[in-house]
């Protein structure tokens, strides 16, 4: 059940995502093992999450990332996978079209990684009922939650 996203505190939004999301489209997932997007996705995959890479360059060349088929767009990914969450590794200025695409697809949760912020796009998402988190690391929050 998706809570009223407009009234969630940041802590409640994080807790909801960690409790209810297991299939994540990673927008901007790099095939380079030293990049943060790769390390976060690899960690989540090791924790049992389903990773759905979204990277137009990698998709065009037909390569796999972390053993998974790569999609050129979020829309392409959503046509083949039941997505619970969109995890964004893009510049803050690139966030609004990703949020708009996620909302158009009816996706219920968006996470902007550490250092990525766009208050207006996040406010639009929350107003549309999307659980939205920004400027936090999904790997860090997941690991913190797992510690007893």
Looking at residue 19, its pLDDT comes to 94
| Contact (CB, 8 A) for 41 and 29 | yes
Question: Alpha carbon of 47 to those of 41, 86, 103, 130, 142: distances in Å?
Answer: 10, 17, 27, 24, 9
CB atoms under 10 Å from CB of 138, counted, come to 25
pLDDT in tens, 4-59: 667 789 999 999 999 999 999 999 999 999 999 999 999 999 999 999 999 999 99
pLDDT in tens, 42-57: 999 999 999 999 999 9
Looking at residue 147, its pLDDT comes to 62
| Architecture label for domain 5-146 | 3-Layer(aba) Sandwich (3.40)
Token pair 């009816």: residue: 106
The CA dihedral of 124, 92, 2, 50, to the nearest 10 degrees, is 150
45 three-state secondary structure: helix
pTM, full prediction: 0.94
Pairwise CA distance, residues 35 & 38, whole Å:
5
Annotated domain spans of the chain: 5-146
Pairwise CA distance, residues 130 & 134, whole Å:
13
Mean pLDDT (whole number) for 74-87: 97
Confidence of residue 148 (pLDDT cuts 50, 70, 90): low
For 76, the token pair is: 């392409």
């Amino acid at each position: 059940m998706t809570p009223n996203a407009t009234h969630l505190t940041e802590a409640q939004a994080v807790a909801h995502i960690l409790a209810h999301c297991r299939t994540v489209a990673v927008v901007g997932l790099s095939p380079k093992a030293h990049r943060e997007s790769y390390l976060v996705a690899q960690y989540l995959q090791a924790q049992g999450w389903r990773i759905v890479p979204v990277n137009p360059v990698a998709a065009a060349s037909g390569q796999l990332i972390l053993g998974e088929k790569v999609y050129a767009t979020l829309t392409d990914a959503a046509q083949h996978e039941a997505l619970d969450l969109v995890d964004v590794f893009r510049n803050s200025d690139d966030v609004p079209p990703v949020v708009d695409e996620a909302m158009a697809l009816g996706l219920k949760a968006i996470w902007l990684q550490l250092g990525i912020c766009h208050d207006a796009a996040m406010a639009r998402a929350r107003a549309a009922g999307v659980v939205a988190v920004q400027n936090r690391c999904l790997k860090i929050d997941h690991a913190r939650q797992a510690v007893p």
